[in-house]
Amino acid sequence: MRFNIIGYFCKEGFRNTLKNKKSTSASLIVMCFTMLIFGVFFMIGENINNVMEQIESAQGIQVFINTDVSDEEVTQIGIDLKEISGINTITYVSKEDALNQMKEKFKDRQDLLTGLEENNIFPASYVVTLTDLNESSKVQDEIKNVVGDRLKKLTSKDETVSALIRIANGIRIVTGVILAFLIIISVVIISNTIKLTVHARRKEISIMKYVGATNSFIRWPFIIEGIIIGIIAGIASILIVAIIYNIISQKIVASPVISSMNISLLSFGQMFNLIVIVYLLLGVGIGIIGSSISMRKYLEV
């Protein structure tokens, strides 16, 4: 019995959608536009986050310890560093490791390094990676605190990272503002579309009211109309975004600057689930809100 009613609602919803082809298309275009714009910013944001992670994991904060600090104390510093929140991994680089790295780096000029075996001037260090790049300066302060005057120096990719953080935050704000604006426009357009169907079917609605239909019963076909438009717009947008993204990301990765930086972009597949969820929520949400707004006037019989 319930199945039958749901079938009735869906049938009516589809009928509504097909009846006003012009305004349904207008809603579809506006919703696709909203979703595409949102998709572009969303994917740029996701990629910047991803690049930040790559940079961070390739190059963490390096904490150099003064050479006059004893081995036991260096070990103790390692233990203390583990206590700092926001640190993901800690790798110890001993004086010998540091020397070996140098030897590796200057393979052709071993003469520069002679005598260093006996008198190793390279400091031991800890390479620290972070759980959240936004915490970088806070964690650095903590590290300075913990290591105190035993700290020789501290290096990080701060400038690159903080520039990226600024860009990422900027994009988030811009996305938010644009999205809010586009959502409002979409809601208005879709509610106008549904208003047309509601108006075209006002006679039917009034008959339904006289026969004793509840408001929710009357509302459902129109909500489903909104949902159908939302879902079609969502699916169309996903297809368009996927095609465009694949073309553009290949171009970007192939460009000399990016390939020299050895940065990889996310594949569309990696963002697919999230985008599907976001698009369907957007589509269904806008559809429901738009149709509810358009129904208000007509339910007061």
Partner 1 sequence: MIEFRNVNKTYNTGTEAVKNANFRIEKGEFAFLIGASGSGKSTLIKLILKEEEPSSGSIIINGKDTTFLKQNRVPYLRRSMGVVFQDFRLLPDKTVYENVAFAMYIVKATPKHIRRQVPMVLSLVGLSEKSKMYPNELSGGEQQRVALARALVNNPSMIIADEPTGNLDPDTAWEIMNLLNDINLRGTTVVVATHAKDIVDKMNKRVITIKDGNIIRDEKGGYDSEI
Which residues are near partner 1 by CB under 8 A? 1, 4-5, 8, 203-204, 206-215, 217, 301
Report in angstroms how near the CB of residue 301 gets to partner 1 at its nearest: 6
**CA-derived radius of gyration, the chain:** 30
For partner 1, the closer CB: 15 or 166:
15
CA distance 181 to 196: 23
Residue type, 47: N
For partner 1, the closer CB: 6 or 163:
6
Report in angstroms how near the CB of residue 203 gets to partner 1 at its nearest: 7
Q: Quick one: tokens of 18?
A: 């097909």
**DSSP letter for each residue of 156-203:** --HHHHHHHHHHHHHHHHHHHHHHHHHHHHHHHHHHHHHHHHHHHTHH
Report in angstroms how near the CB of residue 297 gets to partner 1 at its nearest: 15
For partner 1, the closer CB: 138 or 209:
209
For partner 1, the closer CB: 115 or 212:
212
CA distance 223 to 299: 14
Helices 21-58, 268-295: inter-axial angle, 10-degree rounding: 140
Report in angstroms how near the CB of residue 22 gets to partner 1 at its nearest: 19
* Dihedral (Cα; 248, 251, 253, 255), 10-degree rounding: -140
Residue type, 177: V
CA distance 86 to 88: 6
How big is the chain, counted in residues? Answer: 301
For partner 1, the closer CB: 29 or 301:
301
Report in angstroms how near the CB of residue 217 gets to partner 1 at its nearest: 6
Report in angstroms how near the CB of residue 209 gets to partner 1 at its nearest: 7
For partner 1, the closer CB: 87 or 198:
198
